[in-house]
Amino acid sequence: MSSKIWLITGVSGGIGRELAKYAAHLGHKVYGTVRKPAQVESFNALVPGKTIALIMDVNAAMAIENGVQEILTANGRIDVLVNNAGYGLFGAIEEVSMEEARKQMETNFFGALGLTKAVIPGMRVQKSGHIVQISSIAGFRGTEGLGIYNASKFALEGFSQALQKEMMHFGVHVTLVEPGPFRTEWGGSSSIRTQSVIPDYSQTAGARIRAIQAYSGTQPGDPAKAAKLIVEIVESDYPPLHLPLGEFAIDGFREKMAVVENDIKAWEDKSRDTAFG
């Protein structure tokens, strides 16, 4: 296994931090983005000499450009980009303000898009590389109370599926990692609840949000095991485009695919009969 240059966004905790630690222990050089100067020393000390912190807000185009250029100047290449930075916005669609929705899309979609666009020119020229998008089962299946978070991850999935077709000719792989509930702060301190709360949604969106918050800290998914599997995927000669992560995600994928297939079958004849002639 040859040493690679990794760039991982959002390494203050959870899967991002475990992935950085595991990849660095294997001998890879890992740049990780943090938002606060106070977090730099901790990440640099994670695996000394192999983990290097970059202060970066993925919502800031100049910070992205400067960070990527710093890595390229020091190493000449970026082999693996992991777009992990993001957060969950909780609220029924009616409860979400347009400002809250735009902030969610800025971080979860446009932040990942900006980083991806910054690294693919180098990967295209070097004819190698791997872009790992940390999506979610919520990027494949909509859930009450998570509608705008769903939208941000659906958007991430859409451009990444197109990107895979555009980059495969250059030897660049794209993988969408789609976790179910893992033991991170996603459902706890890193989540944001809408300012508006409408009582009428208490038994639908509200019930789902309460359930997510209640099991925060007891989720079945182990971030360290997720990290090991992601590294294995990156080292694979035939990495998948989709990686549903954990039993909940796998079951969720299959349930949705079954629903879609049933919808197609129920209306297939009439749908086919909509052409001219």
pLDDT band at 61 (very low <50, low <70, confident <90, very high): very high
Name the nearest CA neighbour of 133 among 250, 10, 1: 10
pLDDT attached to residue 255: 97
Residue 238 is among the residues annotated as catalytic for this protein:
no
- Token readout for 12 is 């203050």
Per annotation, catalytic residue among 29, 31, 153, 216: 153
The rounded distance, in Å, linking the Cα atoms of 230 and 227 is 5
CB 218 within 8 A of CB 183: yes
What is the per-residue pLDDT for 67? Answer: 97
User: Would residue 42 show up in a list of annotated catalytic residues for this protein?
Assistant: no
* pLDDT exceeds cutoff 80 at 212: yes
Question: Which listed residue (4, 12, 31, 135) is catalytic?
Answer: 135
Check whether 227 has a pLDDT greater than 90. Answer: yes
Which domains, and CATH codes, for the chain? Answer: 5-247 (3.40.50.720)
Sign, CA dihedral 88-154-53-14, equals positive
Contact 34, 12 (CB under 8 A): yes
Which member of 29, 149, 152, 201 is catalytic?
A: 149
Q: What is the largest CA-CA distance in the chain?
A: 69
DSSP 45: T
CB 39 within 8 A of CB 14: no
Mean pLDDT, range 165-181, rounded to an integer: 96
Query: Which pLDDT belongs to residue 4?
Result: 97
Active site (annotated) includes residue 153: yes
Task: Tell me how long the chain is.
Answer: 277
- The per-type count for the chain, helices as H runs and strands as E runs, is 9, 9
What does the radius of gyration of the chain's CA atoms come to, in whole angstroms?
A: 20
Supply the pLDDT for residue 222: 93
pLDDT tens digits along 76-94: 999 999 999 999 999 999 9
pLDDT of residue 1: 58
- Residue found under tokens 């079954």: 258
Average pLDDT value for the chain: 95
Structure-token pair, residue 16: 């991002």
